Structure 1
């Protein structure tokens, strides 16, 4: 086994290579934790706290609300909310009746929303009062059966709840909702429903818990079918990896959105399984996040690299106490070494890079938290997870150290794409999931991701991996953020362009950056074009949208001559 899975040599003694995952409803974690730690705070939302006993009771109420509305096992329930108590209640309430959750991004525009709601066949959506009009606009030709409306105000402590309408009006978020037989009050429905226990039996291996839509970087997003078993397994795999966790005592900084599967598993599902407290943040706003860490003392802070970049570069970082943070797992994008090193120095905690994708619930790999880890690596496969580097066309394993496509297999791998058997067939082969990511494995079984196959830059016949170039740019003292993409070049086919966000007060120069890169990279990898920006386009999970930058570039080329520094050399 060790020759086939060399990574097992580097497992901590506390982590078993295999585990017996219970065949249960995903919501069973909440039931068990509420029995064990009824008075531990499950949620802390801007100062308003809710115990596990209260959360379970409200989840039962929501489950019975759904049944009263005729929503039953297998029906799809969309949740279009930021991180707030109502999102957690709706999530577990839906799971308790065997419903299928469709997590929906609150930033979606009507076209995106219409596709997701129509494709999933959602019968009901839970959303904010400020978003009702957008939902109605998106589903004008095929209205949902029910829109359950809540407000951030409903979850706030006194006196914030009284002041919220003033702030909402100031921020342009004031909403006037007309209630009727279709548009109903979330708060009132919960009051009218019983909090008696309810759990509809499910077949954990067959029944879906979640329809999670992929980012849709090309065309419309696909619905990833994740079963109760998929999500139970990945929750327990992350728990096994975090073997020094303290039951009923950890405090989770919940800045990653729950509507992103990374946040859903490593925050919501894991915290509930461990009896931890979720310190909910509706969106990542750097000053609020730093103040929250300073005051609330979270011990676990999963995030995206851009979140850690914002923290280490904050001008007043020295005035905040971040020493409570013990463990951070970074996902959604590659973690630059410079960011990891500085963050660990500032906090004294561990920041490790992991890897996953929506189709795997999502985590498949991580570096050891307290044991051997390798710079630039996504780490080693989780318990019961197999991985290999293959030729994408033939699925033959490539020689050790060579570059190919990462394929993974394990209990967390999806059932397939919703209503898309052809797309499922393309990426699921004999239980192996083709990830679309180019990588390699070393002799110790540590894996390295070079880039998405579609992000590979081919310039003058040379393969260039954006991550390698980005690592070098991040090391420059004047660079806060950097991302690299391939843009059209009439001579080389493609050339390398760097998008740079300078550090506060720094004024980097394109020639200086080019010289910096030339000293560390082969000439063909050095960016030829540099664009300096105040910010980079990101998802709410903090992932930089490289595709958005490429689309901007194409639109700009069609309309006007590029005005950035350009060197044909």
Structure 2
């Protein structure tokens, strides 16, 4: 292992966790079944004023699995889930597994072109979706895909509160009123469940290497690719979450991460199945609704993007008492400025631990141990993403693939039980990204002498300003120190003199004002002359993926059109 032969990180486990674990289960479906057997009447899902027990989810998923088989789903067949954070996502996911299929997660923010691409790439034959998403988006494209059965459902199901902040104007759309292209059958999920109530699909026990999910990369640097998240991958990382974050049946999981995203799939759904902790869902993130869910259900644990924590900090009426139950907080999916972590702790008395992972690693590979504070690199100001967690080998490699010494910057490469087998139907991309089964992440960072890892930035986001390398993350962290800045994103834009120059896009905190010139001067006084932004544009919102990642590609396109 070269420089990592005697890695010191194992000495940093404050709670005495071992370096390796032996997961209780080797597939995600067995985790769910064990929870049903051990506590059938315990709450599995809270959804506004509604709730479902594990017995409820078991019966509903049995019925849906039987319906999928009746519709012709074959072993290994794909079923696309095009849904928000609603109970039907969990029911559908378990049903697909019970039917011997593979679930395909589709971002509910995706539009026609993106939905058609994913349905065709995955070869999905069944689409489970919200009524409005089918009417407004999917109906116009399913006719050109392998989909032959569409199951529609409503966000109004399984609750009666119908919060106007989310559901104003939402009405049921009967399946018979939906457009059905030639060769496509559209059916209502509730009617389907009634028709197959009491039916039990033939027993299935997935192998660890069987694909449980096709989870598509966010496409921030190119077309999305379907990571083949295996049952063993999901079972391992669910158990790693359980042990690292100390999650048990007395906890309540705050399901704010999008369920279509790998974080929501593992840190919310799979972890809840494994630990028998109730999962709190509330359709989609709206700050006031999200705060109400905390007050009503008193969750203890969550993993969310830092943009969620920023939004909650700026939600009117939010108090430290509201967050008194939230003792186990982690944030991943986007860089975390140290100043934001400090501000959240000052306001709410809760420390947000960093965590790092990718779609291709079935969620985390690194995390800050509970109760420990992430160190900050003095040179760059970067907050550590944590230590490699159980059974994970993390290396820093150069452009030639060779391992670099401690402290040197290079690409992070990961191997471990959570790393997927590759990309669906893309052997060349798989061979490039997973040489020898080791994922080359595309993230640039380094490891310090104590074993803590730091992310510098994405390789493709590096800015070359007059021959000097500038990492957007470092500039963003400086801008976050300004009291008026809510969010910041930095990109390189063409410049006739420097080749590229640094441009910052920022959004402001409510009630604060600042000019672009003032922000430029603020950054100029805090960093090297070649790094500070020469251009600043103030936006109402910074464009992001649903998981909170900054869409720098979209910002570069915006700058090019300016």
| Alignment pair present for 1:494 and 2:500 | yes
Deviations 1:258-310 (A, max 9, x none): 00111111111112211111110211101111122122211112210111111
Partner SS, residue 303 of structure 2: coil
| Alignment pair present for 1:217 and 2:220 | yes
The 5-angstrom pairing of residues 475-514 of structure 1 reads 475-514=481-520
Q: Structure 1: how far apart are the matches of 2:122 and 2:55?
A: 32
The equivalent residue for 1:290 is: 291
Q: Structure 1: how far apart are the matches of 2:62 and 2:174?
A: 29
Deviations 1:213-266 (A, max 9, x none): 1112244211111111111111111112113x3x32211111111001111111
Q: Structure 1: how far apart are the matches of 2:220 and 2:425?
A: 19
The equivalent residue for 1:389 is: 396
Q: CA deviation at 1:13?
A: 4.3
The 5-angstrom pairing of residues 495-534 of structure 1 reads 495-534=501-540
Confirm or deny: 8 A CA contact 1:325 1:348 kept in the other structure. no
Classify 1:415/1:152 alpha carbon distance in 2 versus 1 (closer, same or farther; 3 Å).
same
The equivalent residue for 1:268 is: 269
| Alignment pair present for 1:447 and 2:448 | no
| Structure 2 unaligned regions, length at least 5 | 377-382
Match of 1:17 among 14, 19, 36: 19
Q: CA deviation at 1:103?
A: 0.6
Deviations 1:92-112 (A, max 9, x none): 111122210001112211111
Classify 1:197/1:443 alpha carbon distance in 2 versus 1 (closer, same or farther; 3 Å).
farther
Match of 2:234 among 213, 231, 234: 231
Q: CA deviation at 1:555?
A: 2.4
Confirm or deny: 8 A CA contact 1:485 1:498 kept in the other structure. yes
The equivalent residue for 1:562 is: none
The 5-angstrom pairing of residues 421-460 of structure 1 reads 421-460=427-466
Match of 1:465 among 454, 463, 471: 471
Question: Please, what is the CA RMSD of the aligned residues?
Answer: 2.1
Deviations 1:518-546 (A, max 9, x none): 23211111111011111111222222212
Confirm or deny: 8 A CA contact 1:479 1:502 kept in the other structure. yes
The equivalent residue for 1:321 is: 322
The equivalent residue for 1:99 is: 101
Q: Structure 2: how far apart are the matches of 1:538 and 1:79?
A: 21
Q: Structure 2: how far apart are the matches of 1:355 and 1:317?
A: 27
Classify 1:176/1:197 alpha carbon distance in 2 versus 1 (closer, same or farther; 3 Å).
closer
Confirm or deny: 8 A CA contact 2:131 2:173 kept in the other structure. yes
Q: CA deviation at 1:377?
A: 0.4
Classify 1:316/1:194 alpha carbon distance in 2 versus 1 (closer, same or farther; 3 Å).
closer
Q: CA deviation at 1:403?
A: 0.6
Aligned residues: 548
Confirm or deny: 8 A CA contact 1:350 1:369 kept in the other structure. no
* TM-score, normalised by the number of residues in structure 1: 0.92
Q: CA deviation at 1:316?
A: 2.8
Confirm or deny: 8 A CA contact 2:319 2:348 kept in the other structure. no
Q: CA deviation at 1:496?
A: 0.7
| Structure 1 unaligned regions, length at least 5 | 557-569
| Alignment pair present for 1:125 and 2:131 | no
Deviations 1:417-458 (A, max 9, x none): 111111001111122110000101100111100100011111
Deviations 1:371-403 (A, max 9, x none): 3532300001110000010013x2101121011
Confirm or deny: 8 A CA contact 1:98 1:200 kept in the other structure. no
Confirm or deny: 8 A CA contact 1:299 1:327 kept in the other structure. yes
Classify 1:402/1:154 alpha carbon distance in 2 versus 1 (closer, same or farther; 3 Å).
same
Q: CA deviation at 1:139?
A: 2.2
More divergent stretch after superposition (413-422 vs 62-71): 62-71
The equivalent residue for 1:80 is: 82
Q: Structure 1: how far apart are the matches of 2:166 and 2:474?
A: 44
Confirm or deny: 8 A CA contact 1:205 1:228 kept in the other structure. yes
Q: Structure 1: how far apart are the matches of 2:56 and 2:269?
A: 16
Partner SS, residue 176 of structure 2: coil
The equivalent residue for 1:65 is: 67
Confirm or deny: 8 A CA contact 1:132 1:177 kept in the other structure. no
Q: Structure 2: how far apart are the matches of 1:140 and 1:108?
A: 17
Partner SS, residue 43 of structure 1: strand
